[in-house]
Structure 1
């Protein structure tokens, strides 16, 4: 049974997609063992509670230094003991020590087709604003392993979504969520739970 910890900052729509997929059986051999947010007002925490999943808030704002937060955060993660950590809209930089400790066991969902519109400063609506400003015809989402860079880890899955005439950043964001994010994030977790994902020479192989 794959023990999954989900890290969230906001509404938790990707968390909900994961919970639903576990309930429906499209994610197999998996248990959501915890949810951690850096935002005590995140609706994702309510989603977790309503689903009977242990949840808590650990915020950098509650600590004098980032080092203190990192230590507390890593201790909380270690206490849960996850096999896989899923960043589902988590807007806090993951400590390097944690990335090293959980190498190729942390995955992130990014709302673009990496390497387009990714890296420092590209998150949330900013991604879709940039895509529309550039005039691209196809956008999408990427699930990737987390490494020390920003959106630079090995890519697991990608799904394309067409840009439509009259799209606003908000409309495009919603379509990317519905058509890509909520599909490939559960799919990636299921592949990992089934032991089908390996990383070789910095690239993901799916058996």
Structure 2
């Protein structure tokens, strides 16, 4: 049983049992992650009729995503997992978008693009073969007019499904794949940084 959380583009929380998504709540609002995340977690557990004690794995979407929103979801996933003494599995958020497209029947090369703000975008490229989607490049950050792979089918995602994120985690487990990233994929430095040492003033 999985609890999956993604805040890389909006906020999405889901409970899944294997391939079956039992409950999912999502919003495309990119400004209120912290305000809605707790209510969403409680809500999907209630919708699914699943107590927290039945969750065996917590899945965290690692982005790419803007710093403030992304860290809310990852912190919530880690805190929830700590509270119930369960492991956290990290998944690239774009992989969930690619899996949804593959599940809907798409095949061939695919480019997943999400908003990075500051007039930039995040992108990842995939090969959707008959077996599963395979990421071939990215995640990366660039200006909108610098996005590569113009010949690929492209999807500009405004939401990452936590249910699909859980299915990616299951697919990785079944294939014995290890985590690629254990740290958030901000792909740029945060706005707030620690100040450097004071400059010496020459008298």
Q: TM-score, normalised by structure 2?
A: 0.34
* Between structures 1 and 2, the one with greater strand share: 2
Of structures 1 and 2, the one with the larger relative CO (CA 8 A, separation 6+) is 2
* Between structures 1 and 2, the one with greater helix share: 1
Q: TM-score, normalised by structure 1?
A: 0.34
The structure with the largest alpha-carbon Rg is 2
